[in-house]
Structure 1
Amino acid sequence: MLIRSEFDIQFHLPQELTMVAMLRLHPSVDPLVREPEELTLEHIETAPQGLELESKTSIAAEEYLDSFGNRCSRFVAPQGTLRISGKSLVEDDGQPDPIFTEAIQHPVEELPTETLQFLLSSRYCEVDQMSQVAGDMFGHTTPGWARAVWIRDWVHNHVRFNYNTARPTKTSLNVFTERVGVCRDYQHLAIAMTRAMNIPARYVTGYLGDIRTPYSGPGDFSAWYEVFLSGRWWTMDARHNEPRIGRVLMATGRDATDVAITTSFGVAEVKNFYVESYEVDEQGVTVPLVGGGTRDKKWVPPFGL
């Protein structure tokens, strides 16, 4: 199956500033890309009345890989309106997230050295403060897949989703006490508890559209996490908590700090935010939604910019 992903984000910049964007697909996805990925950075001249003029100026960016292997774009944007847009087309096997109930948990001394950082506390995942709680709650579970699923399911069942509760300072401990949050909050709590039980867990961002599943509204970038068992990383999602089709990987890190889609070194006010990921056929025609209906391309509230 083919998946088209696209976005259009616009900012008002009171003054010139430097920005780092993490809006490219992850290098590991390259074998699945079926047409050149696009990322466009533009400065838009606006009339005094706020009307957009035809004149747009391209902004050059420096591309690099960060310490986690994610693609980043660093650029300087002038004062005014900044537009960041892009699209991609990837081929997916059409299979839901894999399940391997026999996956084993490695003793810490046998873990690959590159996974050890995903056992430690990070900005949003306070492993040290969650260790006693996690041990009391999940110490009785069977190490390995069963333990990872117990943690994922507990978070899913005890946290309520609410966009209005989103805030950039909310940590896993806050989520545990408040029991409400958005996608990234579910994942942060699950990651902290999973690490506390000595299973490496890393934060993931990417596209996750309503593909071959009932439509849930305007799209957004999504967050999930991965656990290291039986020598590889496995997808977990404490928010959706069911195998999904069509995840498109953008970045991985310790938590949301490492994979913010944009990081602004100055004030950048979001004016437009559109994201969508959907299935298309070989001719590029959008595949109809499950149950019919049409996709809503209205502005959706951003989080984690």
Structure 2
Amino acid sequence: MKFKVSAALQYEVKAPSTLILNVHALRTANQTVLDEKLTIAPYLKAEELNAVNGENRFVRLDIQDTGTIDIHYDATVDNYYEVKDHSKIPEIPVSKFHPSVLTYLNPSRYCQSDMLYRLANNTFGHINNSYEQVFAITDWIYKNVEYLSGFTDSETSAYDTVTQQAGVCRDFAHLGIALCRALTIPARYFTGYAYRLNPPDFHACFEAYLGGEWVLFDATRLIPLNGLVKIATGRDAADAAIASIFGDVSCTNIRVACEYADEQPFEPIYYTRSIFHGISYY
């Protein structure tokens, strides 16, 4: 499926600084960037830095002059996904995990799985199948955490979200990741452009490693799962931040868009057990 995505960012620079952006659509085996363009006004040289694990496409800007900077990213992306019944796929023991997966079993800055071990096991430990556990986690978050814009901030963690019972997509994702890891299910943060998200914005959800594949889950239920364009994945939002600022820089405006651009009609897929069992973008 083809999508046209765009991001317009404006920053006010008050001193020489460095800005690392993470808005480029990721190139993967199942996601092809057909065309893209990055424009910066006034002109600055942009240095692309590919992450070691290949799950981020960073752009570094060295800014020496003060003033306003406008950054525009536009791309056309063709992505592919698969729908499978993951409840019937044989599980893989930790001893057989690829080394690259092991890091997603550990607690991280925003996903304190060690602090949520008792909650995870008391609530979901009785479920024998890992897929069914993640499904139950996603459903539990949706029912017990209120989606509330402006209630949390960049310091809010999964543990905070459990106690406050409110948050945005980033918080829903962090909580899902932490509960999965507490059950020895590898999980990672997913950020991307989202079709039919209202109001338009970057969107966060998470992927769980099930049967040797990364399977997408979104506890917010705000968008169709086949309407995503992946930007990055990581242990949590610290690894996949849209912008990392080093210096006296403040963001003054953000505009994000994701439009369907395929000739075939769009048939949305939402996360309910009656419709399908699991979707993979990886």
Return the TM-score normalized by structure 1. Answer: 0.81
Partner of 1:123: 109
Partner of 2:220: 239
Matches of 1:92 and 1:25 in 2, distance apart?
Answer: 10
Matches of 1:132 and 1:276 in 2, distance apart?
Answer: 40
Q: Pairwise CA RMSD of aligned residues?
A: 2.3
- Contact 1:103/1:145, CA 8 A, preserved across alignment: no
Matches of 1:76 and 1:184 in 2, distance apart?
Answer: 28
Matched, 1:227 2:208: yes
- Contact 1:105/1:145, CA 8 A, preserved across alignment: no
* Residue 135 (structure 1) shift: 0.9
Seq. identity, %? 32
Partner of 1:6: 6
* Residue 271 (structure 1) shift: 1.7
Q: Match for 2:49 among 40, 64, 70?
A: 64
* Residue 32 (structure 1) shift: 2.5
Question: Is the partner of 1:147 in helix, strand or coil?
Answer: helix
Partner of 1:89: 76
Matches of 2:32 and 2:111 in 1, distance apart?
Answer: 32
* Residue 241 (structure 1) shift: 7.3
Equivalent position amino acid for 1:261 in 2: I
Superposed counterparts of 1:1-305, under 5 Å: 1-28=1-28, 32-34=32-34, 36-43=35-42, 58-69=43-54, 70-77=56-63, 78-93=65-80, 99-210=85-196, 217-240=198-221, 244-281=225-262
* Residue 132 (structure 1) shift: 1.5
Query: Where in structure 2 are there 5+ consecutive unaligned residues?
Result: 268-282
- Contact 1:104/1:143, CA 8 A, preserved across alignment: no
* Residue 288 (structure 1) shift: 11
* Residue 219 (structure 1) shift: 0.6
Return the TM-score normalized by structure 2. Answer: 0.87
Give CA-to-partner distance per residue, 1:80-132, whole Å, 9 cap, x none.
10111111112245x68655322343222221111110000001000111111
Equivalent position amino acid for 1:38 in 2: K
Matches of 1:127 and 1:219 in 2, distance apart?
Answer: 30
Partner of 1:295: none
Partner of 2:276: none
- Contact 2:25/2:77, CA 8 A, preserved across alignment: no
Matches of 1:218 and 1:250 in 2, distance apart?
Answer: 19
Aligned residues: 265
- Contact 1:62/1:73, CA 8 A, preserved across alignment: yes
- 1:201–1:176 distance in 2 versus 1, CA, 3 Å: same
